[in-house]
Each structure stands twice: as structure tokens, then as C-alpha cells.
Structure 1
Amino acid sequence: MDRAITAPTGKSITTGADFLQLDVTDAPPGGRADWLATRLRAAIADGRVPVGARLPASRVLAVELGVSRGVVTEAYQRLAESGQVAGRGRAGTVVLAGPAGVVAGVPTPAPAPELFAARPGVSVFDALRAAPAELDLTPGVPDLAAFPRAAWLRAERAVLRRLTPADFGYGDPTGTPALRRAVAAWLGRNRGIRVDPAEVVVVAGVSQALGLLAQVLHDQGVHTVAVEDPSSLGVRQHLHNWRLDTPPVPVDAHGLRVDRLAAAGARAVLVTPAHQFPTGVVLDGERRRALLGWAERGGLVIEDDYDAEHRYDRPPVPALRGTLPERVCYTGSVSKLLAPALRIGWLLVPPRWHTALVDAKRMADLGNAALPQLVLAELMTSGALERHLRMLRRRHVRRRDAMLRAVREQLPGAVVHGAAAGLHLLVTLPDEVDDVAVAAAALRRGVKVHPLAWHGQRRQPPGLVLGYAATPTGDLERAVAELGAALRELT
């Protein structure tokens, strides 16, 4: 809160500002500009005012502090002379840099040898994202540059025109009715799932869906969820965080080895049947029937439909949920369709668990933010999201084909898997190769990839999981050339 003193005339004089909790009474007589410049430098150095932030307008800060505008402009000028800020006209005074060698607010990335030195921990993906690299082939990342900004803004304006004041209050923890209707229609058109909108629970991505499911499973006495092997390391980490064991079940060219499921001793299994991560295989018809038969005998299937809309050279594969809704939990999101930053997904559970799931969601966060849900619903119902998906498919095919050509040229002996759909390829390498060492060498060359070893609980053939959706074709060719150089360096 601003502090004030009363002048002899009775006029209130401001002496403090909320910005950095500045109090001009702390300044020495005749040294207010020095004092202000010192306080600002300290705030920039410790990250309270990060790089890229805009300082208050000099006139505004002067009024708040109860000083002349010249005091503030002189302090800003001193920071400008040291290269820490710059005037940008109408954009104001912007922070350019902290002290030499420090970028405020940016964590120091783990060097490549340490990042790949041991079994990956829960912070490994944060560390990899923070590691500097010119070329990023991280799997599962969509083309963020393709986010439909114009369509989103149009949808947002349309939504805001319709909203009443009451719409800005607390809503249904299961999600806005508009988005639940839109998701139900989307799943019917694109995934072969007939679902009542009342059954849809809007969640903050698949990670929250897994957390809510874990709570419901624990209450039902289920503490083990079998997973495909290999499978997403990140997904397993989320399950472990919620105290669920994840026994591995092998995957082959036809998908999950359902005949090995009983040996895992689990009453539930998590699968990615439309495009298995990371191998890219599709659960074939015989295995689908076997898995659904296992579920009908008392098992529970958790279907992660993480990127099923992205298919290129094969017909669509319907979701398992459409065949056996009473034994299949289903989750999906817009993380691969639009952007992970939206944190919007959906979850369907068997009817007997719906009330418990809604209770868990209510206790978690009272429901997702309503405005992004309404904008997404507008994109879905207007056809804009499907138009965006068609554009992405064309772009992804060009990028995938460029990566395939580069792999053939630069990685002799490599075998490509899962090219018909999705946002990534699995490239397996000769048996004598250490894929973790290759990934570390690639990062030293400025290329980010996942070694297949990260995603397996049991020993896997050496391989690399390569995302291509977010990278232009020329950069893909350069990145694979660097992978080839890294491989030759180690063999």
C-alpha cells in the first residue's frame, strides 16, 4: 500500500509506490536519483524486474513517489548508459539485460554430459527444454508458429460479445457447457465416439486427467496401472507421482502384447492404441479384440489419444472408447492440435465413476478457466479448428518427408518406424550404438532429441525419438546431418 505524509498545508504527499515497494523517505538528502537507480539495478539483477519488462512511465512513477519527474528520468538514464535498459518510444523503457553473464529469470541449463549421465529424473524434461540448442527435435511438440492467432482472436471477440456479467463468475467444475458440447461433437466426427456432453469433463491437459484418474483408482483399491513398454517417460512420471506402480507390458509390430497383460498383475492398463508412443505402431484388429475382451472380464483400459488426429498415409483408427465405454477411460487434449500452453483437455470415464471424478476435479481447481474454453468451443463449432488441422497435415507431410530423406542419406543402417501418423518418428540404430551417448553428442552439436532408452523400462534396441512437426524442412535436414556426425563421432 502507498504510504503518505501530511504536509503543513494539509495536502497529502505520496512517498511510496507499489512498484518494488519503493519508499522515497529511504533516499538520502540530495541523492534521490542515485538511490532510485541503485534500487532498480538490484531489482533487475535478482530477477524481480526481468529482461523484457517495461518500467513504469517516468511521469507515473514520479507522481507515485512524490518526486520531480527529473529524478526518475535521471535514474533511467543511468541505467540506459550501463546498457541495462533502453527507451523504446511509445513502448516505454524496457529492460535489456541484468549484470554481465546473468540473464534474469532464466535457469542455468544442465550441460549435455550431466543431462544424459544417469537414469532421467523428474526434472529431465525441464532441463532439456532449458538447454541451449539451435535445432529442437523434441518429440510431441506441435508447430507452435502455426498457432491460428487470427482465428483465435476472431473467436475471442465473438465470445466476448455474447458474454453476460454472470458468465465471468465461477462455473461448472466439469467445464463450460459450450465446450463440452463441442468436444462431444468433435469426438463423434473425428474419433468415432458417441458421448453425451454431460459425460465430458474438461481438464488441464492429459497430465491432470491422469492425476484425477489416479485419485479415483486409489479410492477403488487400484494401485497398479500397467503400461506399454516402451512408453512415455513423462506419463509414467505422472503416474508415479500419484503413487501408482507401472509394470511394463511389451509392444511389438502389432501393438501391445495383450497375452502378456495378465502377467503384469494389474487391473488397469494405459495404452496409446491409435499411434503408440514412441514406436508409432497401431494396435491391430486382433489385439484390439483381445484387449477389449480382457476389459470385459473386469479390466480397465485408459486410452491416451494424444495425437490421433494427425494421420497421413493410413485410414483413421477409431477410439477404443467408442466400442466399450463402460470399461474404457478416454483422454485427449489440444496440446498437439493447437498448443500445450492452453492446458485444455478432456476426460471420459465409465458412468459409475463420473461423480467421483467430478468431485476430484472440483477439489483440484474448481474448474478450468472459462474464457479459453469458450474460445476453443467457438473454433470447434465454426469449423476453424478442422481447417487448421487440414493445413497442419499438409505441412507435417512435407516435414516428415524431408526428415525421411535426411535419415536415409545421413543415418545409414537406421530403420524408421511410425511414419504414417503423428508428430514424430522412431529411428532405431545398429545394436552396438549407445543411444544415450548419441543424444548427448547431438546436444553438444546443438540438436535436441530423446534417446529411446529414456522411454523403456526394460532394455530397448538403441534408437532416437525425433519430432519433426515444429521444424522447417531446411532445419530438419541440418539437424539430421548433425545427428549423423554425432553418430560417426561415437563409432
Structure 2
Amino acid sequence: MSRSRTNLGTGELLVELRRDLSVPLHQQLESGIRDRIRQGLLRAGAVMPATRALATDLGLSRGVVVEAYQQLVAEGYLVSRTGGYTQVAPAAAGIQVEQKSAAATGEPPRIDFKYSKPDVSQFPRAAWLRSIRKVLNETPNRSLAYLDGRGTAELREALADYLNRVRGTSARPENMLICNGFAQGSRLLLQVLAAAGYRRLAVEDPSDNEVRDVATKAGLETVGVPVLETGLEVEALERSGADVVLVTAAHQFPTGAVASARTRAGLVAWATKHDVLVIEDDYDAEYRYDREPIGAIQGLAPESVVYAGTASKTLAPGLRLGWLILPSRLVEPMSTAKVLDDRGSPVFDQLTFADFVARGEFDRHLRRMRPRYRRLRDTLVGRLTERVPDLVPIGVSAGLHVMTWLPPDLTEAAVTNAALERGLGVYGLAPYWVEKAGPEGLVFGYGNLTEPAIVEGIDLLADALGSLRRQ
């Protein structure tokens, strides 16, 4: 791609010159430009102002600017190009990277196993564009006015049909609410529950820590309940004194446990017996590889369960599209809370997604992505088995991540630091424990990686572990 030469060619350059010093002006100019390149403020390839324009801007003779440029060209900081313009030399990029590394500025890892990153490069742009065009051509003017706090009827109807068919929910469009992702939906829900008198939120231990922070701000106490291989321990939930529980039953984060039929029935029994509430975060249930689909708990007890879904893992986080299926008693307060918060999610986004779902494009996209993610999962599990066999993956049957426990001779801090030194991002369980620190382990997200990157990443991890053990 050609680079524009007009961005600085006749523009300005901020360099401080002191005419009361004995240092020659050309040397001050050289030093000022050199320092800005070293600091990364003038990046490699940036076009410098023309000598005549810069001389005029700084009140210098053109010869002073020419002399400064020539010296910096000789030192390798600048390069003269055919056509009479000057750029920051490509070699200067190495200087900048070295400075950043030495300053430990937190450059992202070259290969990153961070969770919650789907492959957004596979977003179905052509199908989405067809829906956008249809919506722009056919949406009546009245739909552009302020919305019902629950969101457009078209999207609520399309999602209710889809979720009832695919996830086994018992959704009615009038009981659904469209929100800006799970983040907004959970925040509004916890605020509404706190205002209604709920006091204690039980969460899976371990679990994502973001919701706990939101609960605290809403005025709710949080308590951790252990996660077993069969899902959340219902007996411990009974002892917790909680009046609302948040679960990721279809594929627990981060352990990957799937709630058994007994656990699911136990959650429903707990909610109906005590007249309390289950929040079911169904964040990545569409991606399953080695097991039959598990229906949503909401379908078993619609008036005792809030179902939360999102397009963040299935399409793209940047869409900020999420949805809640609410018990009847929460529809009005949640609708009011949504209106007060932002007056409603953007109408064109909702209508586009509604058409996308109704035309079957959502189903087609998921059918295309499942084998792609499965290949990535298989590559990760296979390479772990081959190179680091004492890291045994669990929770591999669904979703976009796997977890491994660490052997006793390794710690999360040592492993993650050693990996980062090699340009590899791996992440421990420490942030996810609720009541107290539990066994140490690693979480591997693989959704946005390629198969070669996964292979190289696990090879780097094996090298890091070998180095730690030799020490």
C-alpha cells in the first residue's frame, strides 16, 4: 500500500530551539529530531517536513535544516527518498522497539492465549451487509423514534424463536430485553435486584471476577460456591444463604465443567423452594464438539431463572449485542432501568441482527465456525499432550478455552513470567478464586489463534517450563 507523502511534507515539527545557548542551531535541531525518533514519537517511515518549509516555520536558514537532515541521514535516523522527500529510516524501528522493551511498557505478547477472543476475522460481512441493506430500505420511519426499553420487537421475536429451538428455552418476546452485551445486562440486573431487596449473590468458585466487582458496586455481598466435575455444588449453595446465584452451567468458566442433570434439577429446586433466583450465563454454549447439546436451565423454570446470552463469542464483541430472558416480575423494572441507562440500544443494529437471525444466517455462521474452532481445540490439546504431558487439559468438550492444573513443582507466577519473556501470553487461575486461593493452573483461550501459532505457542511454553525446572 502506498504511503501518503503529504502528512508532514509541508507541515510543522515541534522542536525546541534555544538561541541563547552556545550550541549551534543545527546541532539543537539534530538532537531534537533524534530524541523524538528514539522515544518513538516519530515512527519509522514517517515523512519529515520539507527543508524549506521547516526552515520557514522555525525561523532558520534552509542551510541549517539541510545540515541537520544530512547528519541524521549519515547516522541512519533519516533516509532521503527519490522525489526530494525525507523519511524516518526503517532501521529506526529497531531503536524504538529496544527502548520500549527496556522500559517494560507492556507490549502485548506475540502469541496470546488470553481467553475471550473469538476469531473476528471470520465475521460474515457479506451476509451482515445484506441484512443492513434490507433494514435501511424497509424500516419504517416510526421505528427510528425512541424505543421500548426492552428493544425492538423484531429482534426479541427472532431471538425467542432461535433460543427456544436451539437452546431449549421457554422464551416469550415480551419477556426479553436487548442490552449492550452481558456487561450492561448483568450490571442493570444486579442493580434492579439490589433495589428489590436481594442481598447475597452466590458465584461459582472459581469464576470470572468482573461480575463480582459489579455486584459489590450494586451493594450485593458475594459468596463463592465450589465447582465440581458435575457443576456447581448445590449442597454448598443451600448453606450459603444466597438469594441469587450466577452459573455458567453449559460450560463453566474457567474449569469447563458441564452441569449434570442432577445439578440442574438441584438448582431449580433450590430456586423454587426458597423463592430465589438463578442467573444463567449461556456465554458460549453454541460451540460444542464432543457431546450432545445441553438445554438451558431457563426452560425448566422460566419464572425462577434469568437467561443471559450474547453475540460476543459467536459473532464479535464489538457488536455489543446481548439479551436477557426475564421472569415476568422483572420485565418492567429492567425495561425502566435500560431506558434510564441509555434510552435503548441502537435500532439499526438490532434490526440488522433480527434479519440476520430470521434468515438463518446465524445458524449458517455457527455451523461454519464449529469445525474451525474444533480444529484449533484439537491442535491445542494434541500439542499439550505431546510437549507438556503433565499439563492435562480439562473442559475441552465445548467453548473457546481449555484449562490445565499445574504440577506441584511449578507456580502460576513463574510460568506466566517465563512465558512472557518468550513473547507468549498464558494466564493463571489466581484472579478467579473467590473464597480463597485454590490449586494453581492455566487457562488457554484459542479462539483467535491459528494452528501454527498454537503449535509455536505450546513449544515456547515447553521451553519455558524446561528452563524453570532446570533452575
Residue in 2 aligned with 1:402? 379
Indicate yes or no: 2:457 matched with 1:486. no
Decide which of 468, 475, 480 is 2:453's aligned counterpart: 475
Q: Per the alignment, in what secondary structure is the counterpart of residue 12 of structure 2? A: helix
Q: C-alpha separation between the residues in 1 aligned to 2:146 and 2:449? A: 40
Q: Quick check: 1:110–1:131 contact (8 Å CA) kept in 2?
A: no
Structure 1: stretches of 5+ with no match in the other structure: 1-32, 52-69, 85-94, 113-126
- How far apart are 1:480 and its partner, in Å? 1.0
Query: Gapped runs of 5+ residues in structure 2?
Result: 1-8, 17-35, 44-51, 58-64, 79-87
Determine the structure 2 residue equivalent to 1:307: 284
Amino-acid identity (%):
39
| Superposition TM-score, scaled by structure 2 size | 0.78
The answer to whether structure 1 residue 412 and structure 2 residue 389 are counterparts is yes
Q: Which residue matches 1:338? A: 315
Partner SS for 1:246: strand
Distance 1:355 1:132, change over 3 A: same
> What's the secondary structure of 1:330's corresponding residue?
strand
Instruction: Report the alpha carbon displacement of residue 111 of structure 1 after superposing the two structures with TM.
Output: 8.3
**Inter-partner Cα distance in structure 2 for 1:325 and 1:141:** 31
2:132 is the alignment partner of 1:159: no
Query: Aligned with 1:217: secondary structure?
Result: helix
The equivalent of 1:445 in structure 2 is 422
Distance in 1 of aligned mates of 2:325 and 2:157:
13
Equivalent residue letter for 2:353: L
Which of 339, 345, 351 aligns to 1:368? It is: 345
CA distance in 2, matches of 1:281, 1:142: 20
Q: Give the one of 233, 255, 265 matched to 1:289.
A: 265
The structure with the largest alpha-carbon Rg is 2
Residue 38 of structure 1, CA deviation: 4.7
Q: Letter of the aligned partner of 1:486 in structure 2?
A: A
Once residues 244 and 310 of structure 1 are traced to their aligned partners in structure 2, the CA distance between those partners, rounded to angstroms, is 32
SS at match of 1:238: helix
Q: How far is the alpha carbon of 1:195 from its aligned partner?
A: 1.5
Matches within 5 A, 1:189-200: 189-200=165-176
* 374 and 456 in structure 1: CA distance in 2 versus 1, 3 angstrom threshold: same
SS of the residue corresponding to residue 444 of structure 2 reads strand
Deviations 1:161-220 (A, max 9, x none): 112344333222211111111111111111111221111100011111111111111112
Amino acid in structure 2 at the alignment position of 1:245: E
The answer to whether the 8 A contact 2:110-2:424 is kept is yes
Task: Report the equivalent of 1:325.
Answer: 302
User: What is the identity, as a one-letter code, of the residue corresponding to 2:347?
Assistant: A
Q: In the alignment, what sits opposite 1:37?
A: 12
Report how far residue 453 of structure 1 moved.
Answer: 1.8
CA–CA distance in 1 between the matches of 2:368 and 2:427? 27
Q: Please tell me whether residue 229 in structure 1 is matched to residue 205 in structure 2.
A: yes
In the other structure, the counterpart of 1:115 is none
Corresponding residue of 2:150? 174
Once superposed, what is the RMSD of the aligned Cα atoms?
Answer: 3.5
2-structure distance, mates of 1:234, 1:102: 38
8 Å contact from structure 1 (residues 431, 461) kept in 2: no
Change (3 A) 1:100 1:402: closer
| CA contact 1:139–1:449 (8 Å) conserved in 2 | no
Which whole-Å CA distance do the structure 1 matches of 2:200 and 2:295 have between them? 27
Q: Determine the structure 1 residue equivalent to 2:188.
A: 212
Which deviates more, 316-325 or 258-267? 258-267
Matching residue within 446, 459, 482 for 2:437: 459
Secondary structure class of the residue paired with 1:250: strand
Superposition deviation, residue 110 in structure 1: 12
Counterpart secondary structure, 1:37: coil
Deviations 1:12-63 (A, max 9, x none): xxxxxxxxxxxxxxxxxxxxx98x625899xxx9xxx999xxxxxxxxxxxx
Write out per-residue CA displacement over residues 304-339 of structure 1, whole angstroms, 9 at most, x where no aligned residue: 000011111100101010110111111010000001
